[in-house]
Amino acid sequence: MGEKLLLQVEDLHTYFYTLQGVIKAIDGVNLCVREGEILGLVGESGCGKSVTALSILGLVPSPPGRVEGGRILFEGEDLLAKTPAEMRSIRGSRIAMIFQEPMSSLNPVFRIGDQMIEVIKLHKKVSTGSARIQALEMLHEVRMPDPEAVLAKYPFQLSGGMLQRVMIAIALSCEPSLLLADEPTTALDVTVQAQILNLMKDLIRKRNAAVLLITHALGVVAQTCDAVSVMYAGTVVESGSVESIFRSPAHPYTRGLMECIPDPSRKSDKLKIIPGTVPDPVNPPPGCRFHPRCYKATATCSQIRPDPVRVGPGHVVCCHYPEEG
Amino acid sequence: MTRMPKPLLEVRGLKKYFEIRKGFLMRTVGWVKAVDGVDLAVYPLETLGLVGESGCGKTTVGLCIARLYEVTSGKIYFQGADLTSLAGEKLRAMRRNIQLVFQDPQSSLDPRMTIKRSVGAPLAIHGLAKGRALEERVADLLRMVGLDPQHMNRYPHEFSGGQRQRIGIARALALSPKLLILDEPTSALDVSVQSQILNLLRDLQQRLRLSYLFISHDLGVVRYMSSRIAVMYLGKIVELAPSEDLFCMPLHPYTQALLSSIPSTNPAHRAMRVTLEGDIPSPANPPSGCRFHTRCTYARAECAKLEPALQDAAAGRYVACHFPLSNSR
Ligand SMILES: Nc1ncnc2c1ncn2[C@@H]1O[C@H](COP(=O)(O)OP(=O)(O)OP(=O)(O)O)[C@@H](O)[C@H]1O
Ligand SMILES: Nc1ncnc2c1ncn2[C@@H]1O[C@H](COP(=O)(O)OP(=O)(O)OP(=O)(O)O)[C@@H](O)[C@H]1O
Ligand SMILES: [Mg+2]
Ligand SMILES: [Mg+2]
């Protein structure tokens, strides 16, 4: 794993202006992805994981959305300063993406082969013949059974797991240095999910590409990622290496999340719960956004937003009273 | 488990085939064998977990038991009475004892109805309560699932996903059923809300002396909830065992593969995973012999020829495999 920073998101704010009010979907997010590293971005529904990815890609739907502040440095360049045309050429070549629903990213009326060949031709400026050869090679690499036959098929003729393999093949065919994967295996069964994650990991390592893996499944992160950032209500509350976060979660929210998942490897008597529900994004609580649900909250927590503090090597937490050990 | 009492629910040889129709004349060109010979039993006060990959037939089993589907063949006994041969008033009376809770509380609640009407509907339909008494019963039900009865005049969209699932549970409890079929009741919820609902379901089971058929593909959740677990693959039960035994020592290779695919939240377990190759075959055209043989690492020649029956493997365990794991290793 390289130590060089590939992507750095600093104090990002992305808001949606709706009739119900201003949704502060992203309200001060900091992230960094190193070369060749898999960073997991976890958090509950609505905490802003997808909007973070869309902000990086310059794809926030506008209106109603707008990036209101912050910096997104990718290979040293500020993506927020790029023109739409420049972003278009970065997407799919230097930054690729995979989404949860492969069906929605593939055109249902074109054959798999034609779609793959078109993408490869567009980004690599090669002939149809050599694009076809590369498409076949990529399908082979994602261990697709019978790649020749798959080229001639339509998306609906493939299973979810096979479609996700096609998406990975397309995303990696242009040799991106960063892959954004938004819940790439959530729609798949556990057995297929395990296959796809292993495959992604292998291919990524081989190419020394970096990945931002968005998921709400902590198990997926523990099994796949090198580092993890935990989001809560539009902010990143904790970041660090997978080992240190899973061994000693420092934010009460992270700890709560880990304890409320029924552990398949042992019988639990009573599940821990995090009381309450996620806050309304239009009127988030002041101070630390987690304080209304936190067992150790004090007056300070309801007034002052906690700054990041270091609790270990590369392990940072935004909490006034981090957990110990 | 020693000396079981009489089962509350017993399913024998259950089959449910769906027609595949094609062309201008809508001719039947084949059958999706969604459920293809399932035997299971749910005992009083227990939770039987039903797990398996997408499309293996879990929901179809649940809908057949609730008699929302006509079965293709097989018998469903509830407290000894065969539901498949009952009709009219008798069936209606029996069916009150079996209620369903679905994955998506959004789609099972009418958006134009207040919570009071939704939760009270089963009582009103069965003519069991009206007016003041109905309102009191609804208030009781809402309190039971941890909701404020003062909110009963609100509409579903005014509640969060977790609260809507509580409403769905309250409605399922309205007729004081004995068996709840819970079909992925927490799959659409966040983990923090999921744990609240799972704890609620366990409390209700104790308090109201309920039995559950708990359908899920999340093995962690199923282990937390169930006393026994049935593992389904392509329309068949391949293994059934007390939960702890199943997790500690799976007998069927499919169960083993399923267990090792669960992503553990311990990063140190990375190397231990055995992944299954290939996709799930289509239930319209299941493989010959043992349906799992196309993906099974231990398959031998006869597995492709002969279909194994679900057999007693002692100590309350059942397995459908020619070479169950403890014997072959
Ligand atoms: N186009 C939009 N218009 C208005 N609000 C939006 C829009 N897209 C997202 N939001 C809001 O931004 C917030 C963050 O949403 P986001 O999709 O990033 O969540 P997420 O973490 O990806 O959740 P999930 O796990 O459900 O995918 C939510 O409150 C959401 O309602
Ligand atoms: N009404 C129907 N008509 C035709 N086929 C159906 C119908 N309902 C289910 N099927 C098919 O029967 C099989 C079993 O479906 P079922 O919904 O019972 O699976 P499941 O185990 O509940 O899956 P999931 O985990 O995705 O909910 C699938 O192949 C499905 O496509
Ligand atoms: Mg999302
Ligand atoms: Mg189902």
Reported ipTM: the value is 0.85
Using the mean position of ligand 1's atoms as its centre, give its distance from the Cα of residue A305 in Å.
22
B248 touches chain A (CB under 8 A): no
Mutate to test the pocket of ligand 1, among A16, A29, A220 (most ligand atoms within 8 A of CB): A16
Is A39 within 8 Å of A60 (Cβ atoms)?
A: no
Pocket of ligand 1 (CB under 6 A): A 16, 18, 23, 25, 43, 45-51, 61, 64-65, 216, 281
Pick A264's closest partner by Cβ from B194, B199, B220. Answer: B220
| A257 at interface of B, judged by CB pairs closer than 8 A | yes
Whether B283 contacts B34, CB under 8 Å: yes
Using an 8 Å CB-CB cutoff, list chain A residues near B53: 189-192
Once rounded to an integer, what is the mean pLDDT over residues B244-268? 91
Residues of B in contact with A264 (CB under 8 A): 219-220, 223, 247, 259, 262, 264
pLDDT reading at A40 higher than 90: yes
Q: Which ligand is nearest to the CA of A25?
A: 1
> Per-residue confidence at B276, pLDDT binned at 50, 70, 90?
confident
Is pLDDT at A174 greater than 60 in this prediction?
Answer: yes
Residue nearest atom 28 in ligand 1 by C-alpha distance: A46
pLDDT digit string (tens) for B291-312?
Answer: 999 999 999 999 999 999 999 9
Dump the DSSP string for B128-155.
---HHHHHHHHHHHHHHTT--GGGTTS-
The answer to whether residue B328 scores a pLDDT higher than 50 is: no
Dist CA A135 CA A128 (whole Å): 10
Å between A27 CA and nearest CA of chain B:
21
The minimal CB distance from A271 to the residues B195, B219, B257 is found for B195
Closest ligand to residue B102's CA: 4
Q: Separation of B218 CA from ligand 4 center, angstroms?
A: 12
**Cα(B220)–Cα(B299) distance, rounded to whole angstroms?**
28
Query: Is B206 in the A-facing interface, judged by CB distances under 8 Å?
Result: no
Q: Which two tokens stand for residue A273?
A: 């719960």
Annotation: CATH topology of A5-94+176-318: Rossmann fold (3.40.50)
A253 contacts A232 by C-beta, under 8 angstroms: yes
Q: Any chain A CB within 8 A of the CB of B273?
A: yes
CA R_g for chain B: 21
The helix/strand/coil state of A148 is helix
On whether any CB of chain A is under 8 Å from the CB of B272, the answer is no
- CA separation, residue A305 to residues A16, A251, A290, A301, B46 (Å): 22, 14, 10, 7, 47
Taking an 8 Å cut-off on Cβ atoms, the answer to whether B264 and A264 are in contact is: yes
pLDDT digits (tens, 9 = 90+) for A278-294: 888 889 999 999 999 99
Q: Among all ligands shown, which has an atom nearest to the Cα of A47?
A: 1
Best of A44, A49, A52, A56 for a ligand 1 pocket test (most atoms within 8 Å of beta carbon): A49
Alpha-carbon gap: B2 to the closest alpha carbon of chain A (Å):
21
Relative orientation angle of helices A128-141 and A160-173, to the nearest 10 degrees: 130
Q: Is the pLDDT of residue A59 over 60?
A: yes
> What is the structure's pLDDT at B256?
93
Q: What pLDDT digit, counting tens, does each position of A77-130 carry?
A: 999 999 999 999 999 889 999 987 777 788 899 999 999 999 899 888 899 999
Where does the pLDDT of residue B3 fall: very low under 50, low under 70, confident under 90, or very high at 90 and above? Answer: low
Helix and strand numbers, DSSP H then E, in chain B:
11, 12
**For B15, phi and psi rounded to 5 degrees?**
-130, 140
* Both structure tokens of B186: 């927490």
pLDDT score for A164? 87
Instruction: Sort residue B193 into left (φ over 0), alpha (ψ -120 to 50) or beta.
Output: alpha
Contact B190 A271 (CB under 8 A): no
Chain B: give the shortest CA distance to residue A223, in Å.
Answer: 5
